[in-house]
Amino acid sequence: MTVFFQLAYLVGAVLFILGLRGLSDPKTARGGNLRAALGMGIAIIASLLYPLENSHGNFVWIIVALVIGSAIGWISSSKVKMTGMPQLVSIFNGLGGGSAMLLAFVEFLKFNDSGSYSAGLTSLTILFTLLVGSISFSGSILAYLKLDGKIKDKHVTLPKHTIVNLLLLVVTIGTVGYAMFNPSMMSLVIATVISLIYGFSFVAPIGGADMPVVISLLNSVTGISAATAGFLYNNQIMILGGILVGASGTILTVLMCRAMNRSLMNVLIGGFSATGVAAAGTSTDQGSVQPTQPIDVAILLNYSEKVIMVPGYGMAVAQAQKQAKELDEILTKKGVDVYYGIHPVAGRMPGHMNVLLAEVDISYDKLLDLDDCNSELGDTDIVLVVGANDVVNPAALDDPSSSIYGMPVMEVWRAKKVIVFKRSMKPGYAGIQNPLFFKENTNMLFGDAGKTLKDIINEIKTLD
């Protein structure tokens, strides 16, 4: 019987890996997600049934919890809009860390009450799970609240917050170490509370264009907590699943840090720029912008040879991906080459823009990463910046006083013409002004991106 359950775990593990592989391409992402879900289903059933003698008649509680949790997850996922996806990912991720925290808390008490407690590998594993689970839980919940606009950075950020985080990290490790060598309910509660406070404080100063990185990092932390929880129960599928999530999240975090030209240490100490911090060199008056109208943009597009569209969070807000797809098809029929420049941290979570465009079946072959896009911009007739802001800000390259200085950006100003779709002149998520708006080859097209794109499409049709 044991062999049967071990085989079930093996099948689940293989499905996890195949699912993760499928997520690397929009064409196979849906199938990959379903394979991973099937693997998780098999793992859950196998863990419930093996070994049966340890069930202690708790199946009623377990099934009720499964039904409630499944219903909440299904309803939340089915109702969430694309603009709310980062928040959903954050809160789901946080609940995973919270589960690991509670498991470690209970196991520590059980281990201590059994009279067999010793400051060894088991206690270290339990407390490490408690530490990372707590950090993931409180950090992810704060990330959710910030992304959803329920909490502003200025309300949770302290002066010299980087130093505060470093000191708090030392205190957190110290309290966890104390709980290990002085086990008691009081020491455990103190270690848990301090860990939760550190997780909150860790995320507090991080904002602006850096939020996708912290989401990725917290995701990897949750994976690590799940893996260590697996060691507590000698559950191979928990260990493997946690390692896969932790490893992939860590790799993604490192790649995104490189894309932003920042070190991983900046993330760990909360040293990224906070939302709302205006750069000294970009907050002054830089002249007037040049507004344009849909008919003017339609004429320019009609006689272009190459067009690159750079989507951002504003496209998700306006749900303008359908109009972008329609414009793409019209221009392609006219012989115009249409591509999409995707910045690694565009949107509010890793891969946000890729998912947005895949939603309307835009070919993955048309998507250009940061380097490929920049190499194409020199001979591009028109760039349409749809809802993007910080990822096309030239201050990142030429203004050392800017809070995003050093971050690689889409150098859209090198194209012959730039059209920026915006509702207003309000700064982007990083809270700083964008000198791109005032350049000679830039025109501003104000209004809802979905509506203005539709107006452009209608105007192009009249030019046939």
**Token digits for 169?**
């990290």
Question: Which one has a higher pLDDT value, 30 or 135?
Answer: 135
* 311 touches 359 (CB < 8 A): no
113 is an active site residue: no
pLDDT of amino acid 293 = 95
Where does the pLDDT of residue 282 fall: very low under 50, low under 70, confident under 90, or very high at 90 and above? very low
What is the per-residue pLDDT for 456?
96
pLDDT > 70? residue 428: no
* pTM (two decimals): 0.77
Query: In terms of Cα–Cα distance, which of 261, 285, 210, 206 is closest to 405?
Result: 261
Residue from 153, 390, 399, 455 carrying the catalytic annotation: 390
Percentage of the residues of the chain whose pLDDT score is greater than 90: 43
Give me the amino acid identity at 403.
S
The H-assigned helical ranges of 204-235 are: 211-233
Going from the C-alpha of 122 to that of each of 7, 50, 221, 383, the distances in angstroms are: 27, 22, 20, 57
Tell me the angle at which helices 321-333 and 449-462 cross, rounded to the nearest 10 degrees.
20
Confidence of residue 209 (pLDDT cuts 50, 70, 90): low
Q: How confident is the model at residue 85 (pLDDT cuts 50, 70, 90)?
A: confident
Place of tokens 């465009």: 357
Look at residue 445 in the predicted model and tell me its pLDDT: 95
Element (H, E) at 239: helix 236-259
Contact (Cβ atoms closer than 8 angstroms) between residue 139 and residue 218: yes
Looking at the DSSP bridge assignments, the partners of residue 43 are none
Q: Which whole-number Å values give the CA distances from 354 to 80, 306, 393, in the listed order?
A: 17, 21, 21
Q: What is the pLDDT of residues 365-377, one digit of tens each?
A: 899 989 999 999 9
pLDDT at position 286 is 65
pLDDT tops 60 at residue 45: yes
In sequence order, which residues have a C-beta less than 8 Å from that of residue 310 and are 6 or more positions away?
A: 340, 341, 343, 346, 373, 383, 384, 385, 386, 388, 391, 392, 410, 412
User: What are the boundaries of each domain within the chain?
Assistant: 1-73, 105-234+254-274, 294-462
- pLDDT confidence of residue 208: 59
Segment 285-313, tens digit of pLDDT = 567 889 999 999 999 999 999 999 999 98
- The CA-to-CA distance between both ends of the chain, in Å, stands at 71
Dihedral of CA atoms 183, 188, 194, 198 in degrees, nearest 10, equals 90
Over residues 341-369, the pLDDT tens digits come to 999 888 777 778 888 888 888 888 899 98
Segment holding 445, helix H or strand E: strand 442-446
Contacts of 31 (CB under 8 A, 6+ apart): 22
Q: What percent of the chain has pLDDT over 70?
A: 90
Cβ 393 vs Cβ 54: under 8 Å: no
> Could you tell me which residues come within 8 angstroms of residue 153 by beta carbon, excluding any fewer than 6 positions away?
146, 204, 205, 207, 274, 275, 276
| Residues 164 and 158 sit within 8 Å (Cβ to Cβ) | yes
pLDDT in tens, 225-271: 999 988 888 888 889 889 999 998 888 888 878 777 777 776 555 44
DSSP label at residue 291: B
Decide: 395 and 405 in contact? Cβ < 8 Å: yes
Supply the mean pLDDT for the chain.
Answer: 85
CATH code matching the domain that covers 294-462, chosen among 3.40.47.10, 3.40.1190.20, 3.40.50.1220, 3.20.20.70: 3.40.50.1220
What does the pLDDT read at residue 281? 41
Q: What is the C-alpha to C-alpha distance for residues 452 and 294, in angstroms, rounded to an integer?
A: 7
